[in-house]
Amino acid sequence: MGFTCGIIGLPNVGKSTIFNALTSAKAAAANFPFCTIEPNTGAVPVPDERLEKLSTIAKSEKIVPTQVTFVDIAGLIKGASKGEGLGNQFLGHIRSVDAVAHVVRVFADPDVVHVDGRVNPVSDIETIDTELMLSDLDALAKKKERLEKLVKSQDKDAKAEYDLISKIEAILSDGKPARGFTLPDGDVNSNLLATIKAALLTAKPTMFVANVDEADLKHVPNPTGPNLNGTGHQLDKIAAHAAKVGASVVVICGKIESEIAELDASERAVYLADLGLTHSGLDRMAVAGYKLLDLLTFFTVGPKETHAWTVTNGATGPQAAGKIHTDFERGYIRAEVMSYLDYVSLGGEAKAREAGKLRTEGKEYIMKDGDIVHFRFNV
């Protein structure tokens, strides 16, 4: 299981269009495992060109890519933090995902009503982010209330937490998300900060998904693009805002994605090439989500399958083994590891072994992106 990414945004910006394209694209990705877990949840493979190369060399029967699960969290509107719309219920859904894909409308279509009557993506982003910040401030105020008694009785831990919460409150009140808030190196409270942040909506890694007209699909968002007088391309304004609030930007055209989703794999490649693109917007969303979360991919490769697995950067050999099976972690003895580059340039495992490129790594080993691994274990 990869990770989960919640799709949020104002009404009528294209969330359902994008989500439906994502879930109906299964025909086009027929050789990938795909599932719709619940009506508003769909898992998509994270494209990785290395998989094809590895499976060709190993003559694998199948490829199993790593996945990202998208959750359509509809219903966020102005006032949600005060219970407007389906308010708190949806804020709760955001709390449970690993990352957020915030869809904003850039497309102009006069036939589609904009909730505020005009297309202004940065202002839309701020509307939603304000709700998230208010919800976080509310949660922090409640937490402080609970700590007050302990602080009065001179409890040192409670005091440290209370003070740290006050610092985060100041950031949020200043209109900044908790995402960017860090402590000076070596500060003993980094674990405490991580715990506090884990409960905050504005601390979630976030991408802005700009839903554009076809004509804008190839515009590369440039954060230094907008002029000081407020003019400039909408995508550049979004990029400038994203840089300020520590988010990434993905450009997508919902209308085209729904067309692409109907095509089979070969037609799809031709269609994308005609548009001058190499990957669909949904593929780019999956990759962007992956990047947000500081994850790395390792592979198990053999005649049966070439399989991509996901771990957090910094994971050890046993932790990676545990992604495959808990027994592998419990009974971990060692890992035999080759790098992706050695495997491909030398032409497979036997040759890598001959060339002395197959290393034996113990329990302390820190996994690297692209490692090809055999775990040895005993339970």
Residues that bind ligand GDP (CB under 6 A): 9, 11-17, 74, 107, 109, 112, 211, 253-255
At closest approach, how far in Å is the CB of 278 from ligand GDP?
Answer: 20
At closest approach, how far in Å is the CB of 211 from ligand GDP?
Answer: 5
> Is the CB of 20 or the CB of 319 nearer to ligand GDP?
20
At closest approach, how far in Å is the CB of 29 from ligand GDP?
Answer: 21
First to last CA, the chain: 24
> Is the CB of 24 or the CB of 339 nearer to ligand GDP?
24
> Is the CB of 11 or the CB of 225 nearer to ligand GDP?
11
What's the token pair of residue 296?
């790395």
At closest approach, how far in Å is the CB of 178 from ligand GDP?
Answer: 25
> Is the CB of 9 or the CB of 289 nearer to ligand GDP?
9
> Is the CB of 13 or the CB of 172 nearer to ligand GDP?
13
> Is the CB of 208 or the CB of 290 nearer to ligand GDP?
208
At closest approach, how far in Å is the CB of 210 from ligand GDP?
Answer: 10
At closest approach, how far in Å is the CB of 18 from ligand GDP?
Answer: 7
Give the residue from 18, 60, 61, 27 showing the smallest Cα distance to 266. 27
Helix (H), strand (E), coil (C) string for the chain = CCEEEEEECCCCCCHHHHHHHHHHCCCCCCCCCCEEEECCEEEEECCCHHHHHHHHHHCCCEEECCEEEEEECCCCCCCHHHCCCCHHHHHHHHHCCCEEEEEEECCCCCCCCCCCCCCCHHHHHHHHHHHHHHHHHHHHHHHHHHHHHHHHCCCHHHHHHHHHHHHHHHHHHCCCCHHHCCCCCCCCCHHHHHHHHHCCHHHCCEEEEEECCHHHCCCCCCCCCCCCCCCCCHHHHHHHHHHHHCCEEEEECHHHHHHHHCCCHHHHHHHHHHCCCCCCHHHHHHHHHHHHCCEEEEEEECCCEEEEEEEECCCEHHHHHHHHCHHHHHCEEEEEEECHHHHHHHCCHHHHHHCCCCEEECCCCECCCCCEEEEEECC
> Is the CB of 15 or the CB of 284 nearer to ligand GDP?
15
> Is the CB of 196 or the CB of 253 nearer to ligand GDP?
253
Q: Looking at beta carbons, which residue is closest to ligand GDP?
A: 254
Residue found under tokens 């030398």: 346
> For the stretch 223-250, what's the b/e string if a residue is b when 16 or more beta carbons lie within 10 angstroms of its beta carbon?
eebbeeeeeebbbbbbbbbbeebebbbb
At closest approach, how far in Å is the CB of 119 from ligand GDP?
Answer: 11
At closest approach, how far in Å is the CB of 213 from ligand GDP?
Answer: 6
> Is the CB of 110 or the CB of 276 nearer to ligand GDP?
110
Residue found under tokens 């990352």: 99
At closest approach, how far in Å is the CB of 256 from ligand GDP?
Answer: 7
